[in-house]
Chains A and B, each alone.
Chain A
Amino acid sequence: GEDVEQSLFLSVREGDSSVINCTYTDSSSTYLYWYKQEPGAGLQLLTYIFSNMDMKQDQRLTVLLNKKDKHLSLRIADTQTGDSAIYFCAESYGGSQGNLIFGKGTKLSVKP
């Protein structure tokens, strides 16, 4: 079945770049998403990429997609302490319903 894998933890220093990686299994996924979850809160959609794209940049965020390896990454430039959160990778499946499968989330800790 479908599966989304992420590393569980990442620790960086303030000002450095963070790279969060994700692998997925469903080659028919149309969209791939990155969500951010702060403690005790719901999920905030950060960015998404269409499956026929290789890269998407949005301010400090850069998403890279390697369709051959089914690998997705999120790069956060100039990481700030406010970026500390859990980041979830998700792929869409299920045709018109657009259901999502989430990875377990990567906890990003930013040290001052």
Chain B
Amino acid sequence: GAVVSQHPSWVICKSGTSVKIECRSLDFQATTMFWYRQFPKQSLMLMATSNEGSKATYEQGVEKDKFLINHASLTLSTLTVTSAHPEDSSFYICSARAPRIQAGYEQYFGPGTRLTVT
């Protein structure tokens, strides 16, 4: 149980185009999903918190107009990188908060999406 998928697993796009990444909770409903960014050999940096049916909460320094987040249902959140540039190349990981499956507020992570902007 508590499986989170991401699609695509990797994507290469040209500078100036937009890319959409999907995050799905496969066997549970997630009222809250999180989007992280990870640079090589670095830790995960939280970009935004996504609550179903409401606007995402962005961390300081994250451009909300560049990284559009939509949490349209209890099992799907999307991150759209608009007008991507090479500096947006990174590993994007989502997680979904499971409703006390074991204890506390556990986050289950997707496998990540490698974005390369050329």
Binary contact track A1-36/B, C-beta < 8 Å → 1, others 0? 000000000000000000000000000001101010
Q: Find residues 22-61 in chain B having any chain A CB closer than 8 Å to their own CB.
A: 32, 34, 42-44, 46, 49
**Chain A CB within 8 A of B1 CB:** no
Q: Give how many A-B residue pairs fall within 8 Å (CB-CB).
A: 58
**Which residue on A lies nearest to B94, using beta carbons?**
A42
Pairwise interchain contact A43-B93, C-beta atoms closer than 8 A: yes
Give bound CA distance, A99 to B109, whole Å.
13
Pairwise interchain contact A100-B107, C-beta atoms closer than 8 A: yes
Give bound CA distance, A102 to B39, whole Å.
13
Pairwise interchain contact A97-B108, C-beta atoms closer than 8 A: no
Give chain A residues whose Cβ lies under 8 Å from the Cβ of B102.
48
Total count of chain A residues near the partner, CB < 8 A: 23
Pairwise interchain contact A100-B46, C-beta atoms closer than 8 A: yes
Give bound CA distance, A100 to B110, whole Å.
15
Pairwise interchain contact B43-A40, C-beta atoms closer than 8 A: no
* Nearest CB of chain B from residue A33's CB, rounded to whole Å: 8
Pairwise interchain contact B97-A104, C-beta atoms closer than 8 A: no
Pairwise interchain contact A42-B107, C-beta atoms closer than 8 A: no
**Chain A CB within 8 A of B114 CB:** yes
Q: CB within 8 Å of B: which residues of A?
A: 30-31, 33, 35, 40-45, 48, 50, 88, 92, 96-100, 102-105
Q: CB within 8 Å of A: which residues of B?
A: 4, 6, 32, 34, 42-44, 46, 49, 93, 95, 97, 102-112, 114
